[in-house]
Structure 1
């Protein structure tokens, strides 16, 4: 007789503890992709800022103004160049965070964390300086920065538009406590010796200083509304001109232009919106700390995964 063999039974062999540890992962998908999302968003913002800055620089070049970099002031007060530099920094730092998180690269994550720490310390240092030495910071802003802003007003169209926007939105004129008298530092608005200044804008201020620069009937901006304001206020160091223009001093500049400096207006606005400004500052700081925590956590998880 033919022997019939019974089918063999399949015996389940349990996976060893060491094999389970070898297949386990210590990298949290939530941490990884949350960090990637944040940095991808900032990467897009950085790219947009680079585009805006480069467009402004190209526009300056095409209009014949060019990009002058003779000293540090030319960099600090060139709006297009500053926007492009800030955009480039955000672009490359966030790119390191994106690729570091996506590819689980600890070198890029360490570079990203270092950059965030440097930014946070710089912001903290500026905040401490403003809080501990407010008078010195205000003196620096109303001195060196005021001079450069005023003197370069006509040289850079982007800076000019920025100053006009600030003066219109904050209802101010000039930057320091001297208000509209600051504009005498500009060669076009200079009023310390009008007989030597051939500019048609001499002894005036930009239209953005005017209280009623826009004609309500036509909707057009009267760019000549600030002409002669400094002369009417007697802003001149030439005694002959003071005597000659004495009949013009009957007009009060307060009737035509804003007589508060933009730094003082900005301080008043911050005091009125203190809780909003403080909330934004704390929110930005917490966001930076949160992203730094994600980066260090992901870096630690990657190192732990490598060790196993």
Structure 2
């Protein structure tokens, strides 16, 4: 199950700018769960625009949804992830979220097990 989830996240990151629906979902997850990428922020290397061998402004960076917000609801510097893939994790603390979303969502599901179980049951029972 985890491998399937991981491969879907990787594929989604690869096509982040091609699939607006997935982009919006991933941005929401990264902002809601304070995470970046699948396993870690370096997963963004698989995206052609964020790959370090690119030449654009996004090269070797991460999307703005990975940025740490100083004030809840505050304005985010959309270039906070600039050249983030060139840096070490410790250098990025306080700038971007370095924890991967697979781990973050997994922890949330464990912490909210009863609610998760109730939602799953409510979806499966009508069928």
Larger proportion of helix: 1
Name which of 82, 86, 110 aligns with 1:227. 82
| Higher RCO by CA contacts (8 Å cutoff, separation 6 or greater) | 2
Unpaired runs of at least 5, structure 1: 1-136, 235-250, 289-308
Report the CA distance between 1:215 and its aligned residue. Answer: 9.2
User: Match for residue 44 of structure 2?
Assistant: 183
User: Equivalent of 1:207, from 44, 51, 64?
Assistant: 64
* Counterpart selection for 2:115 from 261, 276, 297: 276
User: SS of the counterpart of 2:43?
Assistant: helix
Unaligned runs of 5+ in 2: none
Give the TM-score of the pair, scaled to structure 1: 0.38
The structure with the larger Rg is 1
| Number of aligned positions between the proteins | 127
| Distance in 2 of aligned mates of 1:141 and 1:286 | 24
8 Å contact from structure 1 (residues 207, 213) kept in 2: no
Q: Where do 1:56-95 residues align within 5 Å?
A: none
For the residue of structure 2 that corresponds to 1:165, the secondary structure is helix
Alpha carbons 2:33, 2:104 under 8 Å: kept: yes
1:155-186 Cα shifts (integer Å, max 9, x gaps) = 1223222211110001110012xx11000111
- Cα RMSD (Å): 2.2
